[in-house]
Chain A
Amino acid sequence: MNPVYTRPKSLTNVVTHYCPGCTHGIAHRLVAETIDELGIQGRTIGVASVGCSVFAYNYFDVDFQQAAHGRAPAVATGIKRVRPESIVFAYQGDGDLASIGMAEIVHAAVRGENITVIFINNAIYGMTGGQMAPTTLVGQKTTTSPFGRDPGTQGYPVKISELLSTVKGAYYVARFSLHNPANVQRAKQGIKKAFQNQIEGKGFSLVELLSTCSTNWGMTPQNALKWLEENMIPEYPLGEFKTGEGE
């Protein structure tokens, strides 16, 4: 029998703590596949965030550093500058990157740091119990917006990819979704491009992945994928927002 798909070698052989159907697992797998295909397992260093992905260091079979809340791009900057031969990536959720870590991600992009950032956007705070995140959609119900997000008092969702695409130092900014196999495949190509950019020394790459949180959205995993497609994609359009340096 010829293998068509086998488990990536850059994933450790453990059960993740993620809820059933959480697309964090898909994102982990795509990053691990990319590391395998590029043959960089021995020189990759990951930086984990605070949030559901805090235990990422247990799941990737590469060196890892856990950063303070929101500071993963700053830590990744330090690692990359001290060890420029390493391939450094930060793996952050929306509560980490778009909220407390907003300054760090913008300034890492402004400086054009040669790092790769994987940004998981599921429009809610997962680990802390489903509170409203900066990326929560208008009208979306969370534990801290039980009547739906009201722009009058709570403002509008932050669009990280659009925002960072206006930054001159950013080289590659793209948004993909993980709601069906075709989009997962596109996301994989985007992640691979983001890592290749770093290998070629082109500069800052960020890949935003629209994800589900079936537990805090209060849905089955399959319905959560459908909800993502129907509600999140109109608000967060997919595509490559920036390829190449400059404005």
Chain B
Amino acid sequence: MEKRVRFNEDHCKSCELCIGVCPKKIIRLRTELNRLGYHPAFVPDEDQEKCISCALCARMCPDAVIEVFRP
């Protein structure tokens, strides 16, 4: 399955700005840490279909972590 929202998890600082603006509320934080010591944001595979590709998350991300695609 091709993902609609892709996170560069190594660069994420878990500021949660994407979580605040996602209209579908499908973005979560991983319980594991990335190499920076933060819990990176991600969209679970089962929720990728719920994404409407509005890219609000990508437009708020201060670290340009998120890339959004439309099927």
Contacts and interface: CB of A to CB of B under 8 A. Distances in A.
Is B one of A's binding partners?
yes
Nearest to B11: A15
Interface residues of A, number: 30
Interface in A3-26: 3-8, 11, 15-16, 18-26
Contacts of A26: 60-62
A2 B69 contact: yes
B67 A222 contact: no
Given A1-B70, A3-B69, A15 B62 contact: no
B63 interface: yes
A56 B31 CA distance: 31
B20 interface: yes
B51 to A, nearest CB: 10
B57 to A, nearest CB: 9
Given A20-B15, A222-B16, A1 B4 contact: yes
Nearest to B69: A1
B6 to A, nearest CB: 9
Interface in A75-111: none
A21 B15 contact: yes
Contacts of A6: 67
B64 A11 contact: yes
Interface stretch (A45-53, A64-72, A179-187, A229-237): A179-187
Task: Point out which of B11, B55, B64 has the most chain A C-beta atoms below 10 A from its C-beta.
Answer: B64
Given A2-B70, A4-B53, A221-B17, 14 more contacts: A1-B4, A1-B69, A4-B55, A16-B62, A19-B13, A20-B15, A21-B16, A22-B62, A25-B61, A25-B63, A26-B61, A181-B60, A184-B59, A185-B59
A225 interface: yes
23 contacts: A1-B2, A1-B70, A4-B53, A4-B55, A5-B58, A5-B66, A6-B67, A7-B64, A15-B10, A15-B11, A18-B62, A20-B14, A21-B17, A25-B61, A25-B63, A29-B62, A180-B21, A180-B60, A181-B59, A220-B16, A221-B17, A222-B20, A225-B17
Contacts of A22: 15, 62
Contact of B68 (A5, A8, A181): A5
B69 A15 contact: no
Contacts of A214: 15
Question: Which of B2, B63, B67 has the most C-beta atoms of chain A within 10 angstroms of its own C-beta?
Answer: B63
A1 B67 CA distance: 12
Nearest to A27: B62
